[in-house]
Amino acid sequence: MLAEIDILNRQEFIDKIISTVEYHSKNNLKASFSIQGEWGCGKSWILDRVFENLYDIQDEQIAGGRYCVFRYNAWKYDYYDEPLVSLLISLKEQLESENSIILKTPEAQKNYQAVKLMIKEKLLDTLDVIQKNPLFSIIDSQTFHIPSLFCFGASVKKEFEKYKDKVKEEIRQYDPHYDLNQLMNSMIKGLNQISSEKTVVVIVDELDRCLPEHAIKVLERMHHISQNVNNIQFIYGIDKTQIENNVVQIFLSNNSNVKIQRERINQYLSKFITFGLHVPKTKYTDAIERKYPDLFETFTQVNVCNFNLIENIQLISSAVTPRILEQAISKIVLTNGVLNQNCEKLDNSILVFELFFAVLREVGKGLGGRYFKNDYNNHSLELRNTDNDTFNDIYNKLILPNPVMYGHIQRSKDDYPLWTDFDNGNKAIFPSAMVFYFEKIMQLRNFYFDDKEIQKEMENNVEYLKQFISYYVSLDM
């Protein structure tokens, strides 16, 4: 599946997470740790692979593998006020859906089927709350147990039901959390039955997308479970900064002392999360071409001599997170699909400029305010702006074959022929095209090609790029 293609070479980090889980499991230790990274860095993708990898681990002494792994998207179910209910409903939906879990190996599939049966028998079948009422209507079977021989008549049963309702109502008057306590106790009992045979791993994702009050409530509920269930591990996918902001908003909004805030945030969160593993910053691999085939479909070498397209795509992609890159690519594919419905082949250099423009746009920046600084004496040409941000550095790497350029650049009344290594003159067409596209789109007339045929082809490319930019901008919300 395309979604599983690793374009950031993250297997080493996934292995580190697996090793951490394995260490705690083999030493019968509880664990509660986080996978930390900014929004859109790929935490969910990593956690999906962890889920798959854990089910693929065999153990000769434990039938059906060592692990029972739950996946809980806290944000998806945050319309349930009580996280315990949403956790169970999430689990129930996963077990009932044939398409929710896709595992690669027969061993992993076999292990998962064994775990499904165990969860159903030891946990879900004991929780009638899911089937009868998605909120709290739990009957404590032990409190209200009565031998079946006493319930031989319909009238007796009816009176007994009234008695149960009366007793439960009286309990609620003194304990408003009675139903919640019953649900928690039932869950703990079922999870302990499972954890006596397998290590339970609960993967909690999208916590930082929840409203602050709900995010904190999820942490509190999971903490209660972890304190009362043996052989269990919690893995949270979080943006730590966002979670810390939630704590400040709820508990520390009246305290402006940054040092005190920091100390209390750490004290509070350390109850739930013992340590964190940070998602590493890695480079995009050439697998990006396999993951996004639609992006490259209509592009080829047309009028710019051959250059390494994938290297340039990787270079531009490195400036943004996987989620932002995916947003940009989806809009690029849509825009080109609308503008080029006849699927005419376009030059690869157009795609490079499109992606540069798109990622700029997605992070709230643009081409405006940028310009080329030409140092004729030192044979250098650089994109600049007042901030001199990382995107200038990227574009300057695209035109890096300085001093091998191809054409002329005009400044004021002077016309400078750009330096050309004649042995490699053709290689200079791509970086020259990048200069030409920028200058023309910014309505400057400073750069032109000596070769009139190339000049005409590049002008046609610019016209297409202008249409692309106009449509792409219109896609903004």
Q: Which tens digits make up the pLDDT trace of 64-105?
A: 688 999 899 999 988 888 888 888 888 888 777 766 566 778
pLDDT at residue 129 tops 60:
no
Rounding to the nearest 10 degrees, give the CA dihedral for residues 252, 257, 259, 262: 20
Using pLDDT thresholds of 50, 70 and 90, give the confidence band for residue 152: very low
pLDDT attached to residue 361? 94
pLDDT attached to residue 63? 61
Residue 467: how many CA atoms within 13 Å on its side-chain side?
A: 12
Share of the chain above pLDDT 90, in %: 40
Q: Cβ(107)–Cβ(113) under 8 Å?
A: no
Using pLDDT thresholds of 50, 70 and 90, give the confidence band for residue 332: very high
Ramachandran angles phi, psi of 265, nearest 5°? -60, -50
pLDDT digits (tens, 9 = 90+) for 225-244: 999 999 999 999 999 988 98
pLDDT attached to residue 131? 46
pLDDT attached to residue 51? 92
Q: And the tokens for 218?
A: 């999820």
Using pLDDT thresholds of 50, 70 and 90, give the confidence band for residue 165: low
What 3-state DSSP class applies to 42? coil
pLDDT at residue 180 tops 50:
yes
pLDDT at residue 303 tops 90:
no
pTM of the model: 0.78
Q: Cβ(229)–Cβ(68) under 8 Å?
A: no
Q: And the tokens for 126?
A: 């004991």
Using pLDDT thresholds of 50, 70 and 90, give the confidence band for residue 402: low
pLDDT attached to residue 388? 77
pLDDT attached to residue 150? 41
Helices 322-339 and 452-474: crossing angle in degrees, nearest 10, is 110
What 3-state DSSP class applies to 312? helix
pLDDT attached to residue 426? 53
pLDDT attached to residue 141? 38
Residue at token pair 């309505």: 443
CA distances from 174 to 118, 167, 171, 420 (A): 36, 11, 5, 88
Q: Rounded distance, CA 436 to CA 446, Å?
A: 9
- Kindly state the average pLDDT of the residues 368-376: 78
Q: Cβ(236)–Cβ(34) under 8 Å?
A: yes
Q: Rounded distance, CA 148 to CA 468, Å?
A: 75
386 contact partners, CB below 8 Å, separation of at least 6: 369
pLDDT at residue 406 tops 60:
no
Average per-residue pLDDT for the chain: 81
Higher-confidence residue of 472 and 40: namely 472
Neighbours of 419 (CB within 10 A): 15
pLDDT attached to residue 411? 42
Q: Cβ(22)–Cβ(14) under 8 Å?
A: no
My answer on whether omega of the bond before 431 falls inside 30° of 0, hence cis, is: no
pLDDT digits (tens, 9 = 90+) for 12-34: 999 999 999 999 999 999 999 99
pLDDT attached to residue 130? 45
Higher-confidence residue of 133 and 459: namely 459
Higher-confidence residue of 170 and 231: namely 231
pLDDT attached to residue 138? 37
Using pLDDT thresholds of 50, 70 and 90, give the confidence band for residue 249: confident
In terms of C-beta density within 10 A (0-12 exposed, 13-18 middle, 19 or more buried), how is residue 467 classed?
middle
What amino acid is encoded at 243 in this protein? Answer: I
Q: What is the DSSP letter of 231?
A: S
pLDDT at residue 276 tops 90:
yes
Using pLDDT thresholds of 50, 70 and 90, give the confidence band for residue 44: very high
145 contact partners, CB below 8 Å, separation of at least 6: none
Ramachandran angles phi, psi of 427, nearest 5°? -65, -20
pLDDT attached to residue 377? 63
Least confident of 51-65, 278-292, 312-326, 330-344: 51-65
